[in-house]
Amino acid sequence: MPNFSAYSHRLPIQNKLIALSVLIFSVLIAFLLFFYDSFSTSLENEKKAQSKHLTESAIGVISYFHGLSLAGQLSDEDAKNYAMNSLKNSTYGDHGYFWISSLDGEILLQPYKPELVGMSLLDWQYTDGTHPFRDVSRERRKTGGWITYLWSKNDSLEQFSKIAYVSYFAPWDWLIGTGIYLDDMEENVFWTVSKATGILLFGFVLFIGVSTLTINYFINILSKQSVRDSLTKLYSKRFLEEVIPGMLENEKRHNRALAAIFLDIDHFKKINDTYGHNCGDQVLQKVARVMMECTRTGDYCIRYGGEEFVIIGPCDNSKNVIAVAERIRKQVSNLVFTHDGTAFNVTLSAGIALHDHAKSSFDETLNDADMKLFEAKTAGRNCVVI
C-alpha cells in the first residue's frame, strides 16, 4: 500500500502552530495564576468587609432598641433583652454568629455556646496557657476594629484562628462582634476561586483547542494543496524539500539508510508531440497511479518535474529497492493507451542511489540517482540501474 498520509514529518508551519499553541497555553497558565492570586485576595477582602458590615448592622439593631428605651417605649432591661434575642437568632452560614461582651470582658451573648454566658473573656486561655484578652486595655477595647484570636467551633473543643470586627456601643458598655474562621474562609475562597479558575481554564482550553484544530485543519488542506501535484496527486518537489530533513534525522536516529529512485518516462516528448498534451497528461496520471500502487508504506512518491519522478523511502535491503523499481517498470510497460483508435505503450527508466549519512548529503544522493538514470537511458532505456 502506498503512504498517502506522509505527515509523520510535520511541516514547518505546523511546528510554528504547535509552538504558538504552547506559548498561548503558557500565557494562559500565567494569567490564571495571576487571576487566582488576585481573586483570592479580593474574596478575602470581601469576606472581611462583609464581617465589618454585619457588625455595623448589629450595632444598628442595638441602636434601634436603645432608641425605644430612650423614647420610654421599653425599659432599658427589656430593650437589652430584645436586642440580644434578635442577634441571638441572627446566625448565618456554617459557623457565623454575633457575640456580645461587656467592656470588662463578661460574655453576654454566645449563641452556639450559651454555657459561656457569664464567663469573663479575660479568663479565656489558649491551649498553651496564655490569656490573650488580658493584654488588651479598656481604652483599646473601646476603639474596636479588627482583632485576631483563637476560638473553638460549635462542635469542637479545638481552637481555630479567627478574625473579627468589633464595635463598641457606649450607652450599654457593650462590645459587639462577628468573625470569620480563617480556615473556613480559606477553604471557601479556595473552592470559589478554583471553580471560577476551572471554568475560565475550561473555556480558554476549549477555545484554544477548537481554534488550533480549525487552523490546523485548514493548514493541512493548504499544505496538501501546496505540496501535491495537481495533475498526478503525487507529492511535489517542494514537499521533498520540506520532508527530507525530518526523514534524514529519523532514519539516522534508527540507524537506517534511505534510498532514492529517479524515474523518467522514455521518449515522453514524442508522446506529447504525436498524441497531444491531453494524452500526455493521461500517461502521467496512470504512471503515477502505478507508482503509488507499487510502493511500500513509508515511501514517498514525488513528481520531480515534467515526466521525471522520484521515490524516497527507507532501505533495509538494496534488493527490495530494486524490486520496487522493477515492479513499477514492468507494470508501466504493460499499460495500454489509446488515442483516436491508435494503441501505444510507454516505458520508463530508473536510477537508484543509496544514501550514506556519514559520506554524503542527500542532494548528492539525488544527483547520484539522476546519474544512474542517465546510465539507464544510455543503456537503451526501459531498465533499472543501481
Cell 488542506 belongs to 221
Would you say how long the chain is, in residues? 386
What is the predicted pLDDT for the residue at 9? 47
> Under DSSP, is residue 279 helix (H, G, I), strand (E, B) or coil?
helix
What is the predicted pLDDT for the residue at 79? 94
pLDDT grade for 17, boundaries at 50, 70 and 90: low
CB of 235 closer than 8 Å to CB of 291 = no
Of residues 252 and 386, the one with the higher pLDDT is: 386
Distance CA 97, CA 114 (A): 12
Q: What percent of the chain has pLDDT over 90?
A: 38
CB of 193 closer than 8 Å to CB of 187 = no
Largest CA distance in the chain: 129
CB of 70 closer than 8 Å to CB of 62 = no
Q: Is the pLDDT of residue 187 over 80?
A: no
Sheet containing strand 257-265, strands side by side: 235-236, 300-305, 308-315, 257-265, 348-355, 384-385
Which sequence positions are flagged as catalytic? 307
pLDDT grade for 6, boundaries at 50, 70 and 90: very low
Q: Which amino acid is at 195?
A: K
Of residues 159 and 375, the one with the higher pLDDT is: 375
178 has which bridge partners?
98, 165
Cell numbers that stand for 101 in this block: 461582651
What is the predicted pLDDT for the residue at 2? 36
**Cα–Cα nearest to 169, from 108, 92, 221, 242:** 108
Q: Is the pLDDT of residue 3 over 50?
A: no
147 has which bridge partners?
164
Q: HSE of 72 in the Cβ direction (CA atoms, 13 Å)?
A: 0
What is the predicted pLDDT for the residue at 154? 65
